[in-house]
Amino acid sequence: MKLPYNVDFTGKVVVVTGAGGVLCGDMARAFAEGGAKVAALDINFEAVERLALECHAGGWECLAYKADVLDKESLERVHERVLGDLGPCDILINGAGGNNPRATTDNEYQHEAGEGQKTFFDLEAGGVDLVFRLNFQGTLLPTQVFARDMAEKKAGCVLNISSMNAYTPLTKIPAYSGAKAAVSNFTQWLAVHFAGTGIRCNAIAPGFLVSDQNRALLFNPDGTPTARSGKILAGTPMGRFVDSSELLGGVFFLCDDRAASAITGVVLPIDGGFSAYSGV
């Protein structure tokens, strides 16, 4: 991987949740390449195990851990293992999250709903609850467990993963939009709460990336863009999707205690200009 600039996180212990996914897997790999000791956490152990093997092949330090970000006892067990294997956490990347079809409508507008489509009135309470828990509780619980190390050292950084949805909700995904707005709000709350402890808390708000989670929404089976893709790109001044590697510069900057020593409570858009564009 080509890092966006020279970084040195030598000796830092970086814990990344959701590291089995594309975005946070790239972040974990990049921190390892930058000299950090990385703990890659995911409920999908096979995915983070592959990541750890890739890092080891490159000569970097990364260990895989199976963890459920909605199970505090699971996180505490992993925390004890990370302490023994790598040491106390210096940087926590809260990357676990996602949406669920049960919390997604088929139509953008209620008046356009066709027969048999899942509308707002058909959303399942269990699906909505899952999305809120995965994104918000899945950020809060790992912070409770791993930021304790930082509080004891009076130094450290928490980086949450918010979304464009946190600024303006997208159609079809009300639960995910609301949950990411909660993550942004929680980031600011944490920044204030931890201000006297030496812990900085920030977030990034990625623009539209193509991932396994949203590929079917953005591209037809034949590879052509969907109508939704057309709307996204029309509202993105740069006229393209963001690549996961383009998040790394902002991530490194916000997690660098020297470069961002006075920056806390910030949610940084990395979106090709989407959040700045009014549509005219």
Residue by residue, pLDDT tens for the chain (280 residues) are: 678 778 899 999 999 999 999 999 999 999 999 999 999 999 999 999 999 999 999 999 999 999 999 999 999 999 999 999 999 999 999 999 999 999 999 999 999 988 889 999 999 999 999 999 999 999 999 999 999 999 999 999 999 999 999 999 999 999 999 999 999 999 999 999 999 999 999 999 999 988 776 777 788 889 888 888 999 999 999 999 999 999 999 999 999 999 999 999 999 999 999 999 988 8
C-alpha–C-alpha distance, residues 168 and 182, integer Å: 13
Angle between helices 138-153 and 174-193 (to 10 degrees): 10
Strands (E) across 127-276 are located at: 156-161, 199-206, 267-270
What is the pTM (predicted TM-score) of this model? 0.94
Catalytic pick among 5, 109, 176, 277: 176
195: left (phi over 0), alpha (psi -120 to 50) or beta: alpha
The amino acid that residue 197 corresponds to is T
**176 counts as catalytic:** yes
C-alpha–C-alpha distance, residues 160 and 18, integer Å: 11
Domains, in order of start, for the chain = 13-207+243-267 (3.40.50.720), 213-241 (no CATH)
C-alpha–C-alpha distance, residues 130 and 107, integer Å: 21
